[in-house]
Structure 1
């Protein structure tokens, strides 16, 4: 009989509602420090709403312009579409800094100071999250222009990764790639009014399998920019608008398929993989596809089954339902997380939610 896997460690996706990076790093270290190998800076400041700040980066590029009309404001950001305006050839578009490297290098100074003071344990890594290029591109660029603009924006993402890796010692750094919009394409559901357009898949009416094949190839090309001596991980996501997915996955089939495709195409080490688990799903059917996971041997699996609404008891039900499939996939242990970042929740929830992770781990191994 296959023994059921232990529950070891917690993963923080990235977004955590605290005023500053220093506040985030400190509250994580105090409340969950013994269970996390990596700590993010909380995606504070302009990154609070994930990728919405990237619209200004597109608009600043010579050759790209907003469509005319009144600004379409969401959370203080103009979401009017960006188009090629004809003043610069698409092949000559040049993006400036996107803001990810600047934020990471600044937050890393806070990380070092707290570690030097003994607040953060030695050996803990500083975690930086970067979106796949498809997410900002699909949110801001007109559909007809996305194929032409993608190469320049993907190059800019790779430059951000290179700058981060150059400025933070490899032994201190972990870089996470976030894949979210890909699942709206796979599921063929709109997000914030944006109807999925899978321009990167040749042919009409692309199947989910073909979307997965093409989208994971694009993500793998970005992952290749992360140096081999930097820890690397992947966050798979079904969205987090008002703490809700854009669609609830029927089960973990597509998550498993995407994880396997990325594991096949990415040749560098993948140290961690995070998958979401809806709060309603504590049934074996949701987790059953995970038995087919074929990850790198070094990859630690984290299931986003922590929900503040039902605490230890709810997580225990989901852990019990997940364990057989995870064991069948060959894992002797897995870690836990929330299903996405929790930076859009109230700040006063942060410390209790971090402590909840530790309580769940303790209960699962009692």
Structure 2
């Protein structure tokens, strides 16, 4: 069997600043990557947990609960519509994604011009889906009306990114995590956070709409996720069945768009406990265009090269070609584990 082709950095990386992230990524993995993220530093350290603070600044929204729920400097209490306010009347403040991306692009482009980052690499910007933010941080009774408002604000952030970064240097990753919490809970409606009935058709369709907003010259990929709070999934997937179904349906949906575009990459997680055939077997049913890169998040800091090699050997029984990654970003991993993770990527992946 050949080595997996290439590596992918999912998003968050445990460094304090974007320049360190870019320099270290290029040094250790420059020949193995096609794109580099900025590590999601600052207020983005815990994925979307900074969004409630952003949203709460809007007139017409208020917090649920009287006491802050602290995650470091963040208050992660959900928001709700104030009495008498309609969602369509809201004017949301800047969500923070465009400001962060444009600031990071200045560093990326400077380092690329200096030869630190190889010319062929793109700058990767990771964005959440509206389903993820609304389902996590908006009161249940307001989710249906608030989702289109949040989506419009998020797409305005995307437009600013597209206006400020050359398209041939840019890659957009949509992060889909809460989608799988909803899918896994779909058989238990009282536990589901969904505000829609058909959890598959709705979520695939909404994500396809987001992908259609990314111009063809910009790469676009998907990170499918089962969560990473405390380096644990919100539920352990029994196998890759739901991930494969979602990937297949989304790929078909994007090819059916007026723009008829193939995804540039899809990433899925592999739990550390799973190196068995039962977990990987549904991958035999993966149906993606040849131009879509597929990454398995089978690298874990706890067992390094040895564990990744075991999972790779099993995956190769069901897939002819794939790249490697961690199962989620590793911005919340313990201090001192980041470089060893880079080294594991480099050891188990072939260079592009």
Q: TM-score range by the shorter chain?
A: over 0.9
Alpha-carbon spacing, 1:347–1:171, altered in 2? closer, same or farther (3 Å)? farther
Distance 2:336 2:3 in 1: 30
Structure 1 counterpart of 2:282: 289
Partner of 1:340: 328
Aligned match for 1:86, one of 83, 105, 127: 83
Q: Which residue of 2 aligns with 1:322?
A: 315
1:16 to 1, 13, 16: 13
On the 8 A contact 1:57/1:96 being kept in 2, the answer is yes
Runs (4 or more) in structure 1 with deviation over 4 Å come to none
Structure 2 residue 272 is matched with structure 1 residue 276: no
After superposition, the C-alpha distances for 1:62-108 in whole angstroms (9 at most, x for unaligned) are 22111351222233322223111135422222222110010000001
1:309 equivalent in structure 2: 302
Inter-partner Cα distance in structure 2 for 1:77 and 1:48: 10
Unaligned runs of 5+ in 2: 256-260
The answer to whether the 8 Å contact 1:228/1:269 transfers is no
Deviation at 1:228, TM superposition (A): 1.2
Measure, in 2, the Cα distance between the counterparts of 1:154 and 1:282. Answer: 38
- From 128, 146, 150, the counterpart of 2:147: 150
What is the TM-score of this pair, normalised by structure 2?
Answer: 0.94
Give the RMSD, CA atoms, in angstroms. Answer: 1.7
SS at match of 2:287: coil
1:1-366 correspondence runs (5 A) = 6-188=3-185, 195-201=191-197, 210-267=198-255, 268-327=261-320, 333-361=321-349
2:258 aligns with none
Give the Cα–Cα distance (whole angstroms) in 1 for the partners of residues 276 and 247 of structure 2.
21
* Contact 1:16/1:43 (8 A) holds in 2: yes
Per the TM alignment, residue 272 of structure 1 is displaced from its structure 2 partner at its CA by 0.6
Query: How many residues in Structure 1 have an aligned counterpart in Structure 2?
Result: 343
Bigger mean CA deviation after superposition, 73-82 or 10-19: 73-82
Q: Extract unaligned runs of 5+ from structure 1.
A: 202-209, 328-332
Secondary structure of 1:304's aligned partner? strand
Tell me: CA distance 1:195–1:26, structure 2 relative to 1, closer, same or farther (3 Å): farther
TM superposition score normalised by structure 1: 0.90
Which piece of structure 1 moves more, 69-78 or 278-287?
69-78
